[in-house]
């Protein structure tokens, strides 16, 4: 766990001066492109601030193979190591940060005397965040009018770090810190602390298909975008149930199907969106069934300068099906709707190009 104290304007000036002194870093990058129709690439980058030992490492490997003019496969793998905040065990860094910047790091014991909530986040040293990502897929021109793209992804974040707190420091709090022999506390404004969250893994795929048709009644463009994502959170050592956090406001799948038809001066648009079931708050039994949202729009161009558009979003005024009757204040529909639309929205627009 890491603690950060934010100072007033005096601390900010010291921080800017200190950063100007430690901005020197070392970096190395390697990129290799081999041959076509197969293209291979690799990159490695390392950055380390010489004075503070803050480090960032990242590496990427990618490949793309064109089997013919109509079918291409691709693959990408990347991994990063990010240590953006000095660890508490490096006492030399702690002394330097305390003396010269507006961000102070120290052990959490003094703060726990006036912030009882912090006890749930302390107990072990914070670890550096390590995200990694693997994806592979293909691009396929099935016909001259139909294109399909499919990508599978597997993402994992080890030791994700979140910031908690952001609480104001009172006069009595400052006295506690001063009694704990924490220097330069007289000008403090607020404090926050950083803690590792459970490891998270997300797997799924993205499918995109486009179809263009020119026929006697005009031109029609159809587009389908489909996503399925499943996220798992690693169980905590205290046995806390994380099933809610894995599902909150996150449908496992959603897709969008849209069509645009143009004929003469007319342009017609329709879009159907789908979201699978999700939950918002288990304590209130806010479990929502799958949802469909339909948007339509029609526009007519009178000349090169004038266009009028009439449309409706959520034209069916879909109401969320939930076991909960809790609504946000002033809302007819539940605020947990995925498309952020409070009922139907109807509009008319006149466009004049000067």
Q: Is 133 part of a structural domain of the chain?
A: yes
Tell me how many domains the chain contains. 1
φ, ψ for residue 311, nearest 5 deg: -155, 175
In the prediction, which pLDDT does 183 show? Answer: 59
- For residue 322, what pLDDT is reported? 47
Q: What is the pLDDT of residue 233?
A: 77
Residue 280 placed within a domain: yes
**Domain-embedded: residue 183:** yes
Residue 4 lies in a domain: no
pLDDT of residue 118: 47
From CA 186, how far away is CA 303, in angstroms rounded?
69
Structural domain contains residue 111: yes
45 within domain boundaries? no
Range of the structural domain that residue 272 is part of: 57-352
CA distance 56 to 130: 10
Beta bridge partners of 209: 148, 224
Written as tens digits, the pLDDT of the chain (354 aa) is 444 444 444 443 344 444 443 434 444 445 555 556 788 888 877 766 544 445 667 888 899 999 999 999 999 999 877 654 544 333 333 333 333 333 334 444 445 454 544 444 444 566 777 889 999 999 999 999 999 999 999 999 887 776 665 666 677 777 776 676 555 666 666 666 666 777 888 899 999 999 999 988 899 999 999 999 988 877 655 555 555 555 566 788 899 999 999 999 999 999 999 988 877 665 555 677 788 889 999 999 998 899 999 999 888 876 655 444 555 555 566 666 666 556 788 999 999 988
d(CA 261, CA 336): 32
**What is the pLDDT at residue 10?**
41
What's the rounded Cα separation, in Å, for the pair 46 and 29? 8
For 152, the token pair is 């599978």
Q: What is the pLDDT of residue 344?
A: 80
Rounded to whole angstroms, what are the CA distances from 320 to 58, 200, 243, 279? 43, 29, 22, 11
> According to the model, what pLDDT value does residue 158 have?
85
Q: What is the pLDDT of residue 87?
A: 41
Whether residue 22 is contained in a domain is answered as no
Among candidate residues 233, 226, 229, 280, the one with its CA nearest the CA of residue 252: 229
pLDDT for residue 292: 86
Q: Which tokens sit at 65?
A: 């193979």
- pLDDT tens readout for residues 32-80: 555 567 888 888 777 665 444 456 678 888 999 999 999 999 999 998 7
What pLDDT, on a 0 to 100 scale, did the predictor assign at position 43?
80
DSSP string, 122-153: -SS----BEEEEEEEEEEEE-SSSEEEEEEEE
- CATH number for the domain that contains residue 61: 2.40.170.20
Residue 62 and residue 74 in contact, taking contact as beta carbons nearer than 8 Å: yes
pLDDT given at position 25: 45
Q: What pLDDT is stored for residue 161 in this prediction?
A: 72
Residue 220, pLDDT score: 96
In a domain, 41, yes or no: no
User: How would you classify residue 91: left for phi > 0, otherwise alpha for psi between -120 and 50, otherwise beta?
Assistant: alpha
Residue 354: per-residue pLDDT: 84
pLDDT number for residue 52: 45
């Amino acid at each position: 766990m890491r603690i950060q104290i934010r100072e007033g304007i005096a601390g900010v000036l010291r921080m800017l001066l200190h950063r100007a002194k430690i901005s020197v870093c070392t970096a190395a990058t390697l990129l290799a492109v081999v041959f076509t129709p197969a293209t291979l690439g690799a990159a490695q980058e390392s950055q380390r601030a010489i004075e503070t030992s803050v480090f960032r490492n990242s590496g990427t490997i990618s490949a793309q193979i064109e089997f013919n003019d109509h079918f291409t496969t691709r693959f990408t793998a990347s991994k990063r190591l990010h240590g953006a905040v000095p660890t508490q065990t490096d006492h030399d860094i702690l002394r330097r940060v305390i003396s010269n910047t507006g961000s102070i790091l120290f052990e959490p014991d003094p703060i726990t005397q006036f912030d009882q909530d912090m006890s749930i986040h302390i107990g072990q040293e914070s670890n550096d965040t390590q995200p990694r990502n693997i994806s592979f897929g293909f691009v396929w021109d099935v016909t001259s009018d139909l294109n399909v793209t499919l990508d599978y992804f597997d993402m994992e974040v080890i030791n994700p770090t979140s910031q908690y707190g952001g609480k104001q420091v009172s006069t009595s709090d400052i006295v506690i810190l001063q009694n704990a022999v924490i220097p330069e506390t007289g000008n403090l404004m607020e404090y926050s602390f950083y803690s590792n969250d459970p490891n998270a893994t997300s797997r799924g795929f993205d499918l995109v298909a486009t179809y263009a048709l020119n026929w006697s009644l005009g031109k029609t463009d159809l587009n389908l975008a489909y996503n399925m994502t499943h996220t798992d959170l690693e169980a905590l050592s205290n046995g806390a149930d994380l099933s809610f956090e894995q599902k909150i406001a996150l449908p496992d799948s959603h897709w969008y199907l849209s069509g645009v038809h143009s004929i003469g001066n007319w342009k017609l648009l329709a879009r159907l969106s789908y979201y699978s079931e999700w939950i918002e708050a288990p304590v209130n039994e806010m479990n929502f069934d799958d949802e469909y949202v339909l948007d339509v729009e029609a526009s007519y161009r009178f000349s090169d300068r004038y266009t009028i558009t009439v449309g409706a979003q959520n034209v069916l005024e879909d109401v969320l099906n939930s076991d909960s009757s809790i609504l946000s204040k002033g809302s007819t529909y539940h605020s947990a709707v995925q498309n952020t639309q409070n009922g139907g929205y109807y509009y008319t627009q006149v466009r004049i190009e000067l």
